[in-house]
């Protein structure tokens, strides 16, 4: 496998997956059985982008969970003493 070809394809796969994921998936589906160096790099770059996207989402969800646990819960029911009633 030629390293320069693989690297260019990897970067192309990563960027296309990042900015136009539908196109990336279309290309991968059409050339999935190809044993060309370029397409192997393209698929690897696309998968790398997908993995990183998943990791970012799970890190964000963990941060949101931590923030929500540290905030006091507010009672929004009818028995809330701070509820203003119009008379």
> Is 78 within the bounds of a domain?
no
- Return the pLDDT at 68: 78
Question: Model confidence at 34, in pLDDT bands (50, 70, 90)?
Answer: confident
The segment with the largest mean pLDDT, out of 28-32, 45-49, 63-67, is: 45-49
Mean pLDDT of the chain: 83
Question: Quick count: other Cβ atoms within 10 Å of Cβ 43?
Answer: 20
Residue 70 lies in a domain: no
Examine the pLDDT at 8 and tell me if it is beyond 70.
yes
> How many structural domains is the chain composed of?
1
| Structure confidence at residue 58 (pLDDT) | 82
**57 falls within a domain:** yes
Alpha-carbon distance 33 to 44, whole Å?
A: 14
36 vs 67, residue with greater confidence: 36
Q: Is the residue at 75 inside a domain?
A: no
- Which residue, among 28, 55, 53, has the nearest Cα to 39 in the 3D structure? 28
Looking at the domain assignment, is residue 71 inside a domain? no
State which residues form the domain around 52.
1-31+45-63
Kindly state whether residue 86 falls inside one of the protein's structural domains.
Answer: no
What is the reported pLDDT for 11?
Answer: 96
Q: Which of 8, 63, 77, 70 lies closest to 36 in space, CA to CA?
A: 8
């Amino acid at each position: 496998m030629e390293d320069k070809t693989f690297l260019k394809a990897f970067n192309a796969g990563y960027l296309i997956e990042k900015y136009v994921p539908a196109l990336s998936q279309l290309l991968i589906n059409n050339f999935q059985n190809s044993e060309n160096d370029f397409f192997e790099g393209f698929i690897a770059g696309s998968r790398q982008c997908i993995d990183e996207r998943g990791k970012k989402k799970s890190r964000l969800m963990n941060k949101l969970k931590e923030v929500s646990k540290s905030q006091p819960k507010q009672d929004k029911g009818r028995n809330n003493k701070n509820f203003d009633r119009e008379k």
